[in-house]
Amino acid sequence: MARDDGWGNFVSTTLKAKEFPLVRSNVWGSVSDSDWNDWSWQLRNRIQNLEQLESRLPLTPEERAGTILAGKKLALGITPHFFSLIDRNDPNCPIRRQVVPRIEESNTAPDEMLDPCGEDSHMPVPGLVHRYPDRVLLLVTDRCASYCRYCTRSRVVSGAGEQELTVDLEGAFSYLEKHPEVRDVLLSGGDPLLLSDAKLDAILTRLRKIPSIEFIRIGTRIPIFLPQRITPELVSMLKIHHPLWMSVHSNHPKEMTQEVREALGRLADAGIPLGNQSVLLKGVNDRAEVLKELFHKLLLCRVRPYYLYQCDLITGSAHLRTTIREGQEIMEQLRGHTTGYAVPTYVVDGPGGGGKIPVGPNYIVGMADDRVILKNYRGDVYEYPEIGQSSVADLRG
């Protein structure tokens, strides 16, 4: 059941949909349900230029100037589905801040980098990042359904910047055959679920022929940006390649619509364990209540919050970054205050190529040879006595 909210948005009235609303803006006029629910229609009708954006959303001067410049750095791209979540009357809408370009993107703050995670220098084969001993990141495409303005890989993603992503898939497969220490492959990009079912199937089938590859996962924001892409056909292809895990990317509770919940449900029903990666973003999700609501909704969709990322030092991101201290304060308001499954690990990707580093907060107040001083979620202090060398001797008699 659905009703019009008076603004031309169709809002479902069932109870379960109250938490996961079906929101369809009328900015596309009289599009049929079958078109709207068709992922190729969603892709064809993405917002990709100033004219398309401005005709549907009154822009601020900062957004207008940012959009004109976007074609030179990271393209503008927003699916109708995600665009519908924007509050057109709120220039600070958290959905809007994630995908509508702003002029601040063309400022380079001190310490910002084009390749903040130092990936290019860890690529033994084009498209394959091998930083950790037993796992690799395989970038299979440079395109996404929509473009996040804080994209850590904006140097190569979207086709707008100067650098192009080159991917040597055959080279990557033979590298993996020669490196049996790699047991875990993470497909990313760009968004791997933008590939056709056949192409993705071919990549997964080829990886499954390498005996040392145990664990495969896909990093994707498609279930959030383009939930229509999670078709029954895609899901039945994916489940042939088990054990297959998936990390999705959501940042704000408004993203958890009914379509998204159904798409995540199809993946979970296929036995694909789901994790979520969020990026801590100023003005989007930098309050504990906002993240708590998001994480609770994810649990209801059978998605385990996996990482909360400190925003990388990507060029032009200063207006979206918080401090690490603020991130720690938010984490302190979550850990112990809500379900442990709802609390992700807060990490910083070490600038220049350090990999993911957990940044607390820290619950150890002090350590001595014979005891550890701890604090709990309320700040009360506890002592855990350590078994020292002398007490081990005592135990032995």
What is the contact surface with ligand PLP in residues (CB under 6 A)? 129, 131-132, 135, 137, 186, 356
Helix axes 197-208, 169-178, angle to 10 degrees: 20
Q: How does DSSP classify residue 28?
A: G
Q: Which residues of 102-123 are buried (b: 16+ CB within 10 A; e: fewer)?
A: bbbbeeeeeebbbbbbbbeebb
Q: Residue 332 is inside which H or E element, if any?
A: helix 324-332
Complex with ligand PLP: residue 91 or 351, whichever CB lies closer: 351
Quick check: is 135 catalytic?
Answer: yes
CB count, 10 Å around CB of 382?
11
The owner of tokens 């200063």 is 318
Complex with ligand PLP: residue 342 or 347, whichever CB lies closer: 347
Quick check: is 64 catalytic?
Answer: no
3-state helix, strand, coil in the chain (%, to 5): 35, 20, 45
Coil, strand, or helix at residue 175? helix
Write down the catalytic residue from 132, 341, 382, 384: 132
Write down the catalytic residue from 24, 97, 153, 297: 153
Q: What angle do CA 79, 84, 90 make, to 5 degrees?
A: 120
Complex with ligand PLP: residue 43 or 139, whichever CB lies closer: 139
Quick check: is 325 catalytic?
Answer: no
Q: Read off the amino acid at residue 261.
A: R
Cβ atoms of 164 and 142 within 8 Å: the answer is yes
Q: Which residues contact 23 (CB under 8 A, 6 or more apart)?
A: 9, 10, 11, 84, 85, 257
Quick check: is 132 catalytic?
Answer: yes
Of the candidates 275, 228, 278, the one whose C-alpha atom is nearest the C-alpha of residue 98 is: 278
The C-alpha atoms of residue 55 and residue 295 are separated, in whole angstroms, by: 34
Write down the catalytic residue from 142, 191, 286, 349: 349
Three-state SS for 190-255 is CCHHHCCHHHHHHHHHHHHCCCCCCEEEEECCHHHHCHHHCCHHHHHHHHHHCCEEEEEECCCHHH
Quick check: is 346 catalytic?
Answer: no
- Could you tell me the smallest distance in angstroms from the CB atom of residue 124 to ligand PLP? 12
Of the candidates 345, 349, 277, the one whose C-alpha atom is nearest the C-alpha of residue 312 is: 349
Complex with ligand PLP: residue 59 or 187, whichever CB lies closer: 187
Quick check: is 56 catalytic?
Answer: no
Upstream peptide bond of 253 is cis (omega within 30 degrees of 0): no
Write down the catalytic residue from 56, 97, 117, 148: 148
Write down the catalytic residue from 64, 135, 143, 206: 135
Complex with ligand PLP: residue 221 or 319, whichever CB lies closer: 221
- Could you tell me the smallest distance in angstroms from the CB atom of residue 310 to ligand PLP? 13
Quick check: is 349 catalytic?
Answer: yes
- Could you tell me the smallest distance in angstroms from the CB atom of residue 267 to ligand PLP? 18
Write down the catalytic residue from 96, 102, 131, 297: 131
Complex with ligand PLP: residue 104 or 120, whichever CB lies closer: 120
Write down the catalytic residue from 151, 217, 229, 254: 151
Beta strand 345-350 pairing with 303-310: parallel
Quick check: is 356 catalytic?
Answer: yes
Instruction: Tell me the catalytic residues.
Output: 131-132, 135, 144, 148, 151, 153, 312, 349, 356
